[in-house]
Amino acid sequence: MRRSCAAFAAVAVLAALPAGAGAKVIEVGQTTLPLQPACSTPTSPCLAISRTTGYQAKVQTNRGLMTIPESGRIVAWTIVLAKPTDKQVSFFNTHLGGASQAQLTVLKVAPHLHDTVKGMSPIVNLQPYFGSAAQFPLINSIPVAKGDVLALTVPTWAPALQVGLGNDTSWRAARGRNQCKNTNDQTAQLQNGDQAQYFCLYRTARLTYTATLVTYPKQTNKPPTKPAKKPATKHR
Beta bridge partners of residue 58, listed in sequence order: 63, 170
pLDDT at residue 7, as a whole number: 43
User: Is residue 55 scored above 50 in pLDDT?
Assistant: yes
Query: In this predicted model, which residue has the larger pLDDT, 38 or 210?
Result: 210
Residue 219 neighbours by CB under 8 Å, 6+ apart: none
Instruction: Name residue 202's amino acid.
Output: Y
Weakest mean pLDDT among 41-55, 173-187, 215-229:
215-229
Residue 46 pLDDT: 85
State the pairing for strand pair 132-144/2-3.
parallel
Mean pLDDT score, 139-149: 97
| Low-confidence winner among 63-72, 109-118, 224-233 (lowest mean pLDDT) | 224-233
Please state whether the predicted TM-score (pTM) of the whole model is above 0.75.
yes
More confident residue, 9 or 51: 51
Is the pLDDT score of 9 beyond 90? no
Contact of 4 with 125, CB cutoff 8 Å: no
pLDDT at residue 62 greater than cutoff 60 = yes
Mean pLDDT of the chain, nearest integer: 88
